[in-house]
Amino acid sequence: MILVTGATGTVGSEVLRQLVQRGAEVRAMARNPERITTPEAEVVAGDFGDPESLAKAVTGVDTVFLLTAPTSPGADHDLALLTAARAQGVRRIVRLSAIGTGETDSAGRTVGRWHQVADDAVRASGLGWTILRPSSFASNTLSWLEPINAGEPVPNLLGDARYGVIDPRDVAAVAVEALTSDQHDGKTYTLTGPELLTADDQATQLGEVLGRKVYLFDVHPEVARDGMLAQGMDPGAVDAIVTGTLWAREGNNAILTDDVPNILGRPARTYAMWARTSATA
């Protein structure tokens, strides 16, 4: 039995779909289980803040896909699931982390502090483990929807930074391989797409798919910080976003790896491919 946490999100829902497609025995955990519409999967209500619900979720489970997305960055959810998993005899954990975790920028700010704590805990858990550290998701540009439809320019916090934009379906596909085979135990994979792109490159490619120009305007992350705080976002989350963005603006995220093609036996999907298949969105 494989437990998929975060089963209603961008990656988790795709992991669930691909596992079911393979005929795997799958249990999907969600705070709101009614949102899971995959009849082939067993569905369980689970809350990372409720140890009893976690114990039930991992009972009889061999492998866990661990994806947490707390409102305020912190490793508590990951640690709670790990505690329950070890108590119930889970054998393997595949955790979704993030690129750049534990690295620092020129000002000494550390990227992904909470991911680092959780990754270290997974490694020290005594279980089999695989850690996935994907680059920026192609689907992040869905956040451009409102200004594009309004004919307005899209705010760009990343300047001319380049990064290996990845289709989240490829992240899910790698996760499925790690969940269904022990040959990836003890590995940390940095997952990227096949090309380094700037936000302007993405806007150009998206515009070609949509048949209209997509305009950007530069917003410095520190300026964006004030706007996000004014909107009521959690200060810890805002700080994590700004830190990661500043790290990327310094060129630290200009990374390409062969992990996706090496694991999947095919090239990673391009941003343009994602844009074409997501045009209706």
Average pLDDT of span 88-116? 95
Please answer whether residues 166 and 268 qualify as being in contact, where contact means their C-beta atoms are separated by less than 8 angstroms.
Answer: yes
| pLDDT tens readout for residues 205-231 | 999 999 999 999 999 999 999 999 999
| pLDDT tens readout for residues 112-128 | 999 999 999 999 999 99
The pLDDT value recorded for residue 169 is 98
